[in-house]
Amino acid sequence: MRWLVRSALAIVVAASTAFVGYSVSADEHAAASNPALGPGLVTVDVGIHYSQFSFSTLRVRTGTLVRFLVHNDDPIHHEFIVGDASVHARHAHGSEATHPPVPGEVSVAPNDIGETFYRFDRPGRFLFACHLPGHLAYGMKGWVVVEA
Ligand SMILES: [Cu+2]
């Protein structure tokens, strides 16, 4: 039975790879032993529930374009902001009520799904966070680790 499930998964992954890169769930790459994603286009599902992201670390290779699909399962607004320190400083001290289409930045209404793309072009650690008042302090943050 387990073999059947794995085979079905492999077929799904192979089929989606042919068209739009590949897609993984947050749980699949939570384990540090898993290889980093990319390069190329990769879709990553980001869950939000009880004001927590579904994973705290995502590992990608340099040259990966990540399509973040942010699933907000809460009855309140959230946002997903990924980038370098200057990006987060702007959001931590800024007063932007909404975010125009900027790569790596998306606001997500209650029980909605947001989408944003971000290309990781250099090795390093990039914070992702929700900067709505109190949310980051509550723990709404994580890291994208970009490997050479
Ligand atoms: Cu939030």
For 95-142, write each residue's pLDDT tens digit: 666 666 799 999 999 999 999 999 999 999 999 999 999 999 999 999
Q: Measure 8 CA to ligand 1 centroid, in angstroms.
A: 35
**CATH, domain range 21-147:** 2.60.40.420
CA of 131 to the centre of ligand 1 (A): 7
How do residues 66-92 score in pLDDT, each as one tens digit? 999 999 999 999 999 999 999 999 888
Residue 101 in tokens:
């289409």
58, 37 in Cβ contact below 8 A?
Answer: yes
pTM of the full structure: 0.77
Nearest to 20 by CA among 115, 91, 113: 115
Stretch among 21-25, 42-46, 122-126 having the lowest mean pLDDT? 21-25
Q: Which residues share a beta bridge with 79?
A: 107
Find the 83 Cα to ligand 1 centroid distance in Å: 16
User: Could you state, in order of their start, the residue ranges of all structural domains in the chain?
Assistant: 21-147
From ligand 1's centre to the CA of 101, what distance in Å? 18
Distance 108 CA to ligand 1 centre (A): 9
Q: In angstroms, what is the span from residue 118 Cα to ligand 1's centroid?
A: 19
CA of 58 from ligand 1 middle (Å) equals 18
Tell me how far apart the alpha carbons of residues 45 and 62 are, in angstroms, rounded to a whole number.
19
Cβ neighbors of 126 (< 8 A, separation 6 or more) are: 82, 83, 84, 120, 143, 144, 146
Nearest CA to 98 out of 117, 112, 79 is that of 79
